[in-house]
Amino acid sequence: MTTAHNTAKKGDIAKTILLPGDPLRAKFIADTYLEDVKQFNAVRNMFGYTGTYKGKEISVMGTGMGMPSMGIYSYELIHFYDVENLIRVGSCGSYQEDVKIHDIILGQGACTNSNFASQYNLPGTYSAIASFNLLEKAKKIADKKGYEVKVGNILSSDIFYNDQPEVWQKWADIGVLGVEMEAYALYANAAKAGVNALTILTVSDSLVSKEEISPEDRQTSFTKMMEIALELA
């Protein structure tokens, strides 16, 4: 079955998929790490590929920026293509002094300023969390490789250019490690469908130190994060 956003047929996409926001990062992962690669999607230049990593079938596909885009792609992957493990690999901004440029964060939970969960008509605030089996496995893989990771809460924000530029400090004060724009929607879609999701992030800039890395570096240098995610297949 194809969709308005994905030309893959049933069976073209593996049960485990890596989801970078940037489609060029998806291409980098496929070109660098996967064997016997086949491209299954290029609609809206949202590239998707399936191949093998250490003999295991795995897919990778871009999701774009923001929760609406992640919401669409992850929903279709789950409900139309039977994907069971969805692993976001992306960049984030640090909210904490001890979370440095190039550090890796495993998103145990996602806060949000979005109303994404309003669709469920819940009588309260939904806490979007990672699947523990993927989180635990990712931490063990990182430890085995000797890669230090931070595990904790992140913020999925609908706003990039905030009219209140210092509002991030309120999230920092409650222990949030950093900010990105997609994890909450991924976790909510996965939880509703009863499948697994995890977000693995590399810090690309710091709101504390004001350091940042280049767009080119974002596409190609996050190799430790990618290696952890690939081992989850």
pLDDT, tens only, 106-144: 999 999 999 999 999 999 999 999 999 999 999 999 999
Q: What's the total number of domains in the chain?
A: 1
Sign of the alpha-carbon dihedral angle for 195, 103, 58, 216: positive
Q: Is position 176 within any domain?
A: yes
Q: Is position 3 within any domain?
A: no
Q: Is position 2 within any domain?
A: no
Sign of the alpha-carbon dihedral angle for 95, 206, 166, 129: negative
The closest of 50, 46, 45, 42 to 12, measured between CA atoms, is 50
- At residue 217, does pLDDT exceed 90? no
Domain with 96, as residue range(s), is 16-230
For the segment 1-22, the average pLDDT, to the nearest whole number, is 96
Q: Is position 11 within any domain?
A: no
pLDDT, tens only, 52-92: 999 999 999 999 999 999 999 999 999 999 999 999 999 99
Q: Is position 7 within any domain?
A: no
Q: How far is CA 99 from CA 61, 140, 155, 157, 207, in A?
A: 27, 20, 14, 18, 10
pLDDT, tens only, 139-159: 999 999 999 999 999 999 999
Q: Is position 120 within any domain?
A: yes
Kindly report the CATH number assigned to the domain that includes residue 85. Answer: 3.40.50.1580
Q: Is position 1 within any domain?
A: no
pLDDT, tens only, 168-210: 999 999 999 999 999 999 999 999 999 999 999 999 999 999 9
**Annotated catalytic sites, by residue?**
205
| DSSP 8-state class, residue 203 | E
Task: Decide: pTM greater than 0.95.
Answer: yes
